[in-house]
Amino acid sequence: MDELFKPKVLLVDDEESILNSLRRLLRGQPYDVLLATSGAQALEIMGQHVIDLVMTDARMPNMDGATLLAHIHEHYPDTVRILLTGYADLSMIVKAINEGQIHRYISKPWSDEEMLLTLRQSLAYQHSERERLRLVQLTWDQNEQLKLLNATLEKRVVARTSELQQTADMLDLAYEELKHSYVTGTEVFSLLANLRLPVAKQTNRQIIDLVRIYCRTHGLDEASSRDLTMAAALYNIGKLSWTDSMMTAPSDLLHHPERELFRGYPKQSESLLMTLEPMKDAARLILHHQERWDGTGFPDRLKGEAIPLGSRLLKLAVDFVELQRGLILERQMNSDEALVFIRKYTGRFYDPELVEDFVQVCAIYLSDVTLGDPTVKVLTTRDLVAGMVLARNLNADNGMLLLNAGKVLNGPLVEKLIAFEAMEGAKYSVFVSMPEEPETAISA
């Protein structure tokens, strides 16, 4: 962006304290900041200045933020539009997306660092789009000149063709930068949406990293990788209208009507994203990421390979992370236990062709995953043998630590584990390193 050019940023909020906070935040930033306390005043300023970016509060008297942004979209379509709200008001968000074609959505209270990052990326997106349109116009102009000179200036045509190729390369580069910026934007938005959740329940960052590693290690093409990354960033955007208690509750414990609301969130997420052209393929992956391999999933009960490949992979990543966060079952699993659960339901919930590849990806990404180690086995208590070594901590179903990793098992200890398991009515999965000569260890 030209360092001599200072973008004009218009901030709109009926609360002057909010405007003052934003003005202090942007002091020292390379922007010309204008303020308005109502939608009518904002439109008056728009008529007097060329505004590059408008950020407006959602809840204002007389004219709400979504209505203001819809008017700006109609009359000043080049202006970047951002909605700022302290309410998880899904209808307001949908209206702003559909009618105002907003670029971003920011929740109150905001993070100063993320706010500044959002403004920088939004203005960079606008600059990139303007540059793309300029290059398109330049290409069209040069093509018209080429038609006029074609009959008599063959040598000049060759030169112009070279220039056009350079221009096309620049246009491709600008477009690639634009697509990359869109992916970055979805990740930033997912981080903002995660502020609704306590840190221990946030999932999107780890799911994004998992699908990226899978795409890179399995050679998925750039378009598929981009769609999967955006789907991982926004798969749970349809949950934003839920209550805080429902967002943190295990889905297995939900009852009607909360269960029906849960089953509707993939469709809700897709509906929010389908209006954005670059998000259409990612939205389709989100729509079907709760389908199951055996056809018992939702929303459309797709079965087997009828489920998009990206949706099958996204389900593996989502379930792996949410099992560890306590968002599926009441008990929070460790990473190995989550992978044992996934293996158990291979062919029912998950694509059998993907599961073992996914286990290896998790072993690459997470240092605490032991299932990728061929010397580690998962056994029941009755399969334990004296001399085996615990590969990771063994916890009871209530979370109580029973044995530490590294503990060498002996006969009496195995018998105590079996008795305790029976008393608890539980069934433990024990991760052990196999002894080289178990028979010798028993006799010893």
For 8, the enclosing helix (H) or strand (E) is strand 8-12
- Give the torsion through C-alpha atoms of 110, 116, 119, 123, to 10 deg: -170
The CB-based long-range contact list for 30-34 (8 Å cut-off, 24+ gap) reads 30/3, 30/6, 31/6, 31/7, 31/119, 32/6, 32/7, 32/8, 33/9, 34/8, 34/9, 34/10
Domain boundary among 110, 137, 156: 110
The whole-number pLDDT of residue 443 equals 36
Chain mean position to CA 416: 45
Q: State the amino acid at position 203 in one-letter form.
A: T
The rounded mean pLDDT for the chain is 84
Number of domains in the chain: 4
| Helix (H) or strand (E) segment spanning residue 54 | strand 53-57
State whether 217 and 324 are in the same domain.
yes
Confidence grade of residue 367 (pLDDT, cut at 50, 70, 90): low
Residue 171's contacts (CB-CB under 8 Å, 6 or more residues apart) are 132, 135, 136, 139
Answer with the one of 58, 91, 110 that is the final residue of a domain: 110
Looking up residue 98, the CATH number of its domain turns out to be: 3.40.50.2300
> Among 242, 210, 240, 201, which Cα is nearest to 228's?
210
Residue 332 domain-assigned? yes
Specify if 349 maps to a domain.
yes
In a domain, 119, yes or no: yes
Give CA–CA dist 298/293, Å, rounded.
11
Task: Note the pLDDT tens digit of each residue in 70-119.
Answer: 899 899 998 999 988 876 566 666 666 766 567 777 888 888 998 899 89
Same domain for 125 and 102: no
Q: Whole-angstrom Cα distance, residue 324 to residue 135?
A: 48
Cβ pair 23, 11 in contact under 8 A: yes
What tokens appear for 361 in the block?
A: 């990806």
Residue 16 burial class via C-beta count within 10 angstroms: exposed 0-12, middle 13-18, buried 19 and up:
exposed
pLDDT of 379-412, one tens digit each? 888 888 888 888 777 877 666 778 887 888 888 8
CATH number assigned to the domain comprising residue 397: 3.90.105
36-57 per-position pLDDT tens digit: 999 999 999 999 999 999 999 8
Do 226 and 334 fall within a single domain? yes
Residue 213 belongs to some domain of the structure: yes
**How does pLDDT run across 279-300, given as a tens digit for each residue?**
889 999 999 999 999 999 999 9
Query: Residues 8-32: what's their mean pLDDT?
Result: 92
**pLDDT tens figures, 189-212:** 777 777 788 888 999 989 999 999
Q: Two tokens at 89?
A: 């008001």
Task: Read off the pTM.
Answer: 0.52
Domain presence at residue 370: no
Average pLDDT over residues 243-251: 91
CB-based contact 427:421 (threshold 8 Å): yes
**Residue type present at position 164:** L
Residues 34 and 125 in one domain: no
Which stretches does DSSP call E strand in 226-287? none
Q: Based on the fold, state whether residues 310 and 431 are members of the same structural domain.
A: no
Q: Are 83 and 209 part of one and the same domain?
A: no
Cα–Cα distance for residue pair 319/311, rounded to 1 Å: 12
Domain containing residue 403: 376-443
Output the CA–CA distances (angstroms, integers) from residue 46 to 9, 11, 75, in the order listed.
11, 11, 10
Residue labelled with tokens 């096309």: 168
